[in-house]
Structure 1
Amino acid sequence: MLVSVMPSTPDHTIDLDLLDLNARQSAAMNRRAMRWLVGMLSLVGVSIVWLAMFLRNIELQELERRNTADAEWLDQSLSFHFRRLESDLAVRALLTQRPAPAQGPALRPGALWQGDGVVTYHGWLPAGPQDAPGAWPAPLREAAAHPNNAEALGTMLDTARGLLRAAYCGPLPGNAGQSSPTLWLAVPLVERGQYVGAYVAAVDAEEALSQAVPPWFLQDHRLGLVAPAEDHFWAPLNLPGAQWKIAVQPLDVQAAGAPRAFFGVALLCLMGMLVALYFLWHDAARRRHTEGKLQTQIALRTAMERSVTLGLRAWDLQGRLLYVNQAFCRMVGWPADALMAGALTGQPGPWTQPDLPGQEGAQPAQELQMDHHDGHRLEVLAHGAPLALGDGTVIGWMGSTLDITERKHMQRLAARQQEKLEASGRLIAVGEVASTLAHELNQPLGALSSFATGLLNHLKEQRITLEEVTPVVERMERLADKAGRVIQRVNAFARRQEMQRQSLDLVPFVARVARGVPLAAGLQVAIDLPASAPEVPADALLLEHALHNVILNASEWAPLGTTVPPQVCVRVVLEPNAVGLQVHDSGPGIPESQRGQIFDAFTSGKTGGMGMGLSICRSIVEAHHGRMEVGASTELGGAQFTLWLPLPT
């Protein structure tokens, strides 16, 4: 529902009555015209695409027909030349058995026989040595030396002998010093019904193509034994026993002229249709221009409908409120007539700013405070944008208001919660430092106390010499130095300072830490270590504390299980990108539902425990860019802890 109040002086005001005009009939005509326009444009587009596809199909069919004809001609031409070469070799075979008379008609050989470099080898091979490749002529033996060539050459000779006709083999890789493939040919000789032998020839494939194919064909085509990168087609050559395909690449492909001419005429007709469609669109544009008085009101109504969930209001250049919607009325708790009468006068808002009428762009969002009708304070986010006519004249402003009272309340609540979390974090850090100091300083301080008590007793009894005092005092000095380094490293870790990482050999390190853990009577500890393990960069003191704490924790839980005697197993496991320090125990294990909380601070399953040990261990491992996992031990039946450390890349 929109409520309006018109100002007394309509200087540059909005004609609200225009929003009530019935423009349904004009809109329907425009919709019908646009449907016709879209339909005609679709028809034009489909026609152009269909014609292009039709032309392409005709050109492809013509190209395929031309390629097929060229391939057939090439096959027939080359087959003729090779049959002529077979005849030449048959004559040579006959001359090897019966020399020609001194006088007689001269035999004119074919083009392949006459061409330079085409026939690289020819010779007579009697029937007897054919079954023994070692007795073949040297060029034939050299060709058979290539992988898979001996079988192909033998098949060629067997075919010539068995079928008593010419047989081919190849193309095969060329011999040493010859880069072009070689085509082998065997022509049998039969006398009195008996196979006498075969005349064998080696033909250079590329030279044969250049010699047999006429120049006029090579002007328009490029022939090769290897397919080129551009468009080409294959022309198979039907020779008995030879798998030979020639790659043919047309050099000058002329497109068919008639289909293109037809397409040009059709495209010209379609252009005429586009001109007609342009005039139709121009006529629709003129009708839209006559309805320009409704454009501002339609834009206002559309903007209000799109933001119906916000509080909307409009005001003129003098700051007088013209429109409010029901969402804005519900937001401030005032009825529309009271708002028009000035119920919000004096409260901060964009409509009270004197500089707004002189501004042209949309206003940035402003956080404001307003009073609700019942007295409580509202926090809102207000936006403003100018309301302009078609010629750019600003006649008012349109604004939207979003109630952010609840959001601001939640932000303040979140800030207080963050302060509490930071305080808890500081408390956890203090606990980590205290627990770590207690763990680490217990051993060196206990040893210092034992050494001091023993030294004092010996001094009182005067049963010790100066030479015996020196190593004891040196040992006490080393223990005191270790305690100092423990305090420094724990303090640095608690302050998140950079650790002192050095290359650490894990095999002796794990063995030393595992043997240094105090164990209860009857507890068995198995140390399973590989012969060698990759070194990792680590802070040895902190990592020793973490592993010591995990082994100690396992030794305390192992006796509570059902296995007798209780057992703890420590091993090193290797993965492609990480190395793991694994600790198993025979205790009762950790339920799966509790495994996600055991690393939390102040969480402990032991009576009187602080719940800081595993939390500190995980912090140390994560500081080494590793991770700590917990699961069930399939080996001992209790818990399994794994400290994964990444390997250096």
Structure 2
Amino acid sequence: MPVARDIPSASHPNSLLHRLFRRWWRQQSPSRQDRFATIAPLISVLMFLATITATFWYLRNEEIERAGEALRRDTEISQQQIRLHLIENQEQLVRMARELATRDIAPEEFLPHAAAFQRERPEVRHLTWVTAQRQVRASQAVLSYESVASEKPAKHNPSFPGEGLALASEAAFIAARDTRQPVYSRPFTDADGMAVFQVQVPLIDRGNFAGTLIVEYSIESLVRYYVPSEVSRRHIISVVGPELQPLASTVTAMPGQPVVPPSLQHEVPLAPMANGLMLRGQGYRTSIGLIGNTLFWMVVALSVLTVWMLLGTWKHMRRRAQIQNALAQETNFRRAMENSMLTGMRAMDMEGRVTYVNPAFCAMTGYAEADLLDGKPPFPYWPPDRVEENTRLLQQELQGRSPAGGIEVKVMRKDGSIFDARMYVSPLIDPRGLQTGWMTSMTNITEAKRIRDQLSASHERFTTVLEGLDAAVSVLSVQQGELLFANRSYRLWFGADARGHGQLAHSTPAQSYQAEADEEVDGLSGLPTQELTEAGAHPHEIYVEPLAMWFDVRTRYLQWTDGRLAQMLIATDITSRRRVEEQAQQQAEKAQVTSRLITMGEMASSVAHELNQPLTAINNYCNGMVSRVRNESINTEDLIAALQKTGRQAERAGQIIHRIRAFVKKSEPQRQPSQASEIVDDAVELAGIELRRRKVAIHTYVAQRLPTLMCDPILIEQVLMNLLKNAAEAIDSAGLPSARRNIELRVVPRHTAEEGGVIEFSVSDMGPGMKEEVLSRLYEAFFSTKAEGMGIGLSLCRSIIESHRGRMRAQNLYNGTTVTGCRFAFTLPVDLTQRVDAQPVPEVPDVAAAANPNATAS
């Protein structure tokens, strides 16, 4: 471990800084001092590596700058050579153009001068004399002489200007004509496919534009002849166009081989006047660079190796410090755990001498550690009456024959009190693998034993309660299909197997799950255990035919004591209740028939009067036919007509009797598809007898295309008959005038958020209405507002409607604050989507509107 040296503070100028550093160093922990001592060499190596890298980088940049400077110099030298040559040519062309304009040179003499000019300048493609009308007067091409015989301008040749054509030569011609100065054209491709550009010198005759002298340069020849050879050996010199496309170069790329992009590049303009041509110089670095330098990699390798060794040393020191800290923490943790745990620990050697006890053991027995260490049996915490038994158990423990589940013993405290304890024994093994003694853990089980006894008693009481229940209680394992519990009632009714549970739960017991031998499979995979155990019971009633008994069954899922998912079932015997309900239903059916008989009894006189009319008509027809037959005053046609009338009257009487018999016939209630219009027709036909007797008119409205009802039509007719009869009696008993002796029967579809789709039957009268206290008690059994009434009519009607899942209600009709009638209505549920092209339901009119166009009077 490095130690700071004491430096004399009187002789050193930085004595204060040294004292501060020494004080700070002494305040650091030894591990932190070791870390700082390791980090210092690491930082120095990293600084050395950074210095070497920076040096190489600086040298590389210097080399790149020198190469770039040489490239710029060579490019500018090439530019100057080409520019000087072009300027020299331009001066001679200007002199030649002046001679042409002053006619010192005839067209025939132009060609020798042009040939001489071209022989000395191999980059010139041709010289052409063009008039102001763009006509070629003479032209000297490469290595040939051409004379112009005609005055027509050249066509389809990009080297000659053409009026209205988008050519570089045309643009230069116009510029030379306008500026009266030599103009360099933009580069283009001539008829031979070579990249060229032109210089057009204007011909000025006495101040007038007389044409141009066109000189066409080959860009490739310029590069070939006027770029110095020493420059082309060092760098690549090329000419690029306005769109930076290469036009000519000192180096030609081999076909099919990739072109390595240059690392250095410099561009300068080419022509004396701006025409878009650029001279580009390109070069490559000759050095291998920083990354390819062997010396650099050797330095890097040595630095990395040094850093790796320093890091390894630092990591080793850090790991050793961590191990020391972990060992200290583990020791403190074990000591704290032993001192805080409630389990008593006792260590003995192979001879039974106590070598260690923890504070919990001392607290349990009440003895100090000094009283127990080095002690031999009999120990002071052994009860006097159990010395022999404890000695036997100790010998068994020393011989290694103690049971794995521990032994239960009695322990005496120092104050003489005794408590129950359980001891577990395990051998003590040293690092060499040899046993040196025994470790015994002791736990006070007095409270646990008391709780266990209480739980056992509670279980017995719970089992006694379940066995005494009249309901069958069973618990079935969902996974194995095993019956986990069954009380006495279940065993009495279904035996001791799981078939009764499955029968009550509407399912067979689950088959036992067999896991594969080579893997562990979760039998409850995907089963929502939490949701099942939190779900409530779902009661349902089941009839068990072998027992001839009805059961109310409630099931729910729960988690069994061993963690398995189980289904609990409680089946209560409701056979007696079902019998009572069946008897009540039979009594209700009898009451319905009795009500119909009472209704027909009350209508007996009306029915007799109704039957008297067709019977009297039949008698009259028969007597008349007999008299006329005796007098021989009837022919065949009259006899047939009389017989037909007699038959119709007999048929009318038969229909009346048939409806009455169907209405009062005792039959089992049965629901069948029925039409509301047919039910209304039959009810109105039967009630019409009573209504005509009481001189009450009825108006009916039945909506068209109503859906089919699933109901008992006789019971619904009974309800309608009762409501119509009550309305007629209310009107008759009030002695109302003829204008108010009306009843309206309406059948319309409705849809409400509470009931959904229903068909509503309503009976409205124009009677005196009912009092509010009567409306509140209207459906009570045996309550009636009539002196001779039995009080079962409306109550029975409401029961019939509710049995069809409908609702019934009554209300008074008002005109302001005056009661103008009463309205009874009931609804029957139906699927309104069955209606096809249903017409809109009209608003309910006032009962007083007897002249309803949609109503039919009976």
Instruction: Provide the TM-score with structure 2 as the length reference.
Output: 0.28
Structure with greater helix percent: 1
Q: Compare relative contact order (CA 8 Å, sep 6+) and give the higher one, 1 or 2.
A: 1
Instruction: Provide the TM-score with structure 1 as the length reference.
Output: 0.35
Which protein has the larger Cα radius of gyration, Structure 1 or Structure 2?
Answer: 2
